[in-house]
Amino acid sequence: MSIQWTGSGPELLLHIDRDRPEPLRDQLENALRAAIRAGRPGTGERLPSSRSLARDLGISRGLVTECYAQLQAEGYLVARPGAATRVAGAAQAATAGPSRPEATTVVRVDFRPGRPDLSSFPREDWSRALRRACRDVPVELLGYGDPYGDAALREVLAAYLRRVRAAAADDAHTIICAGYAQGLELVLRALAAEGVRTVAVEDPGDPDQRAIAAALGLDIVAVPVDERGIDVGALAATGARAVVLTPAHQSPTGVVLAPDRRQALIAWSVAHDATVVEDDYDAEFRYDREPVGALHGLAPDRVALIGSVSKSLAPGLRLGWILCPPRLSAAVAHHKEFADRGSPIIDQLALADLLRSGRYDRHLRHMRLRYAARRTALVEALRRHAPAVELRGLAAGFHTVALLPVGTDERAVVEEARRRSVGLYGMGSYRVDRHPAEPEPARLVLGYGNLTADAIQDGIGTIADLLRGG
């Protein structure tokens, strides 16, 4: 979309050198032609008026008028009586450089996990909270703020997490960050400064966690996950002094960390002077089970809990939080300050308003109903089209794991589905070792959060034969 200028119109940086023998008009034409070829200004964008550009460059208006006329004749510009001169679409297309290759297939129904229902973002509640924040924000908060985050948000957030997640939240050790990814990076940086060199991760697990740890130069060891969560005995054998895991709804298997393993994990952290980094993944959405409290509530001095509004509201808000062990909070805040000088204050105040008013809780209750209905649509679609497919991890979140019939080629199913414009994601893509020596059962991770019931029915119907196998 081109910029639609009003008032005095746009500025355009061009260079004219009066010491060169080349005539000024030729210089102006060449400079403007090169700017258009470089995509500045872009297709459809308005140029400065001849009078204002002449004034800015210190040349006669006649030179600018002649230049515009020449480039219009060459097809670079378009002009209509009474309207501004603009960059022609054809000229921009001809000079924009190599285009990005078109995708061979367009995904019509995408079962990508981890995507919330973006259409249900509470626009009215959020805009109301933003208006209040803009109106009431104290002047002093508009400067570079506390790297820990706004005090009002940390206070109300800590109270919320104590109430809803049974976390031992203390606003003095709560740090606001730009979503889960930044939170994990900040915590791992602080742990590296303490001497941690090896980080354990779940296998299968989130590839982004591994990528962040690797980018910081940390060694990564994979620990298997079974139907009761991470294998704490295998974790103890790794020698790692930190582990990143998703105990409330494991990503991607959907299992819950068993009570005895929760206790064993805390005991491991004490015995090895280790830190548990708890990704509070999908904890807000549960359907057929009792609430599961955060590990942080069991050992706040050993567990760093990281959460965000990416699943509850929208990823684009880039708002999250870290409940730090007291020994780490100053270091994490230090890294946050150098990363970006703190998260946007108006957004922080808006989130505090949403939490304080109860509208955040109301939104979550509404979304649980929507996701439960979509979960039902997925279960019914599979029952109708591929009844042999077993589903796991349905009790919470908005993705499930589908176990395909024995002998099914997971990768072949994913590739063929994409040829049919349906996006599927195999469990193999979450494995640390994507090419194990022994073949594993074919499993798909099916996300349904950002799909309507009709889209779910359509997508499953399109790939039904692939899911049935044989």
Q: 121-357 has which CATH code?
A: 3.40.640.10
CATH architecture of 109-116+362-468: Alpha-Beta Complex (3.90)
Q: What is the pLDDT of residue 73?
A: 82
Alpha-carbon span 271 to 273, nearest angstrom: 6
Residue 420 CB coordination number (10 Å): 15
Mean pLDDT value across residues 99-115: 73
State whether CATH 1.10.150.120 applies to domain 24-95: no
Say whether pLDDT at 94 is over 50: no
List of residues 6+ apart from 309 with CB closer than 8 A: 317, 319, 320, 351
Distances (CA, A) of 282 to 43, 177, 319, 371: 43, 18, 15, 12
In tens, the pLDDT along 182-204 reads 999 999 999 999 999 999 999 99
Confidence category of residue 109, pLDDT binned at 50, 70, 90 = very high
| End-to-end C-alpha distance for the chain, whole angstroms | 49
Residue 292 CB coordination number (10 Å): 19
In tens, the pLDDT along 335-356 reads 999 999 999 999 999 999 999 9
b/e per residue 33-44 (b: at least 16 CB within 10 A): bebbeeeebebe
Q: What is the pLDDT of residue 90?
A: 57
Q: What is the pLDDT of residue 438?
A: 67
Q: What is the pLDDT of residue 281?
A: 79
Which tokens hold the place of 428? 């193999």
In tens, the pLDDT along 207-249 reads 999 999 999 999 999 999 999 999 999 999 999 999 999 999 8
Q: Domain ranges in the chain?
A: 24-95, 109-116+362-468, 121-357
Q: What is the pLDDT of residue 75?
A: 84
In tens, the pLDDT along 442-456 reads 999 999 999 999 999
Q: What is the pLDDT of residue 136?
A: 96
Mean pLDDT value across residues 36-49: 87
89 with 44: CB under 8 angstroms?
yes
Confidence category of residue 288, pLDDT binned at 50, 70, 90 = low
Kindly report which listed range (220-224, 289-293, 318-322, 343-347) carries the lowest average pLDDT score: 289-293
Say whether pLDDT at 206 is over 70: yes
Which tokens hold the place of 394? 């349905």
Q: Provide the 8-state DSSP code for 317.
A: G
Q: What is the pLDDT of residue 83?
A: 78
In tens, the pLDDT along 368-422 reads 999 999 999 999 999 999 999 999 988 888 999 999 999 899 999 999 999 999 9
Shortest CA distance to 448 belongs to which of 389, 363, 391? 391
Question: What is the share, in percent, of the chain residues with pLDDT greater than 70?
Answer: 93
What's the maximum distance between 2 C-alpha atoms anywhere in the chain?
84
Question: What is the share, in percent, of the chain residues with pLDDT greater than 90?
Answer: 70
Kindly report which listed range (91-105, 112-126, 303-317) carries the lowest average pLDDT score: 91-105
Residue 386 CB coordination number (10 Å): 20
Q: What is the pLDDT of residue 215?
A: 94
The better pLDDT of the pair 31, 276 is held by 276
Identical fold, 24-95 and 109-116+362-468: no
Top mean pLDDT of 20-24, 37-41, 320-324 is at 320-324
Burial level of 151, CB count in 10 A (0-12/13-18/19+)? middle
Which tokens hold the place of 431? 């494995």
Q: What is the pLDDT of residue 92?
A: 46
The better pLDDT of the pair 50, 167 is held by 167
In tens, the pLDDT along 374-384 reads 999 999 999 99
Confidence category of residue 433, pLDDT binned at 50, 70, 90 = confident
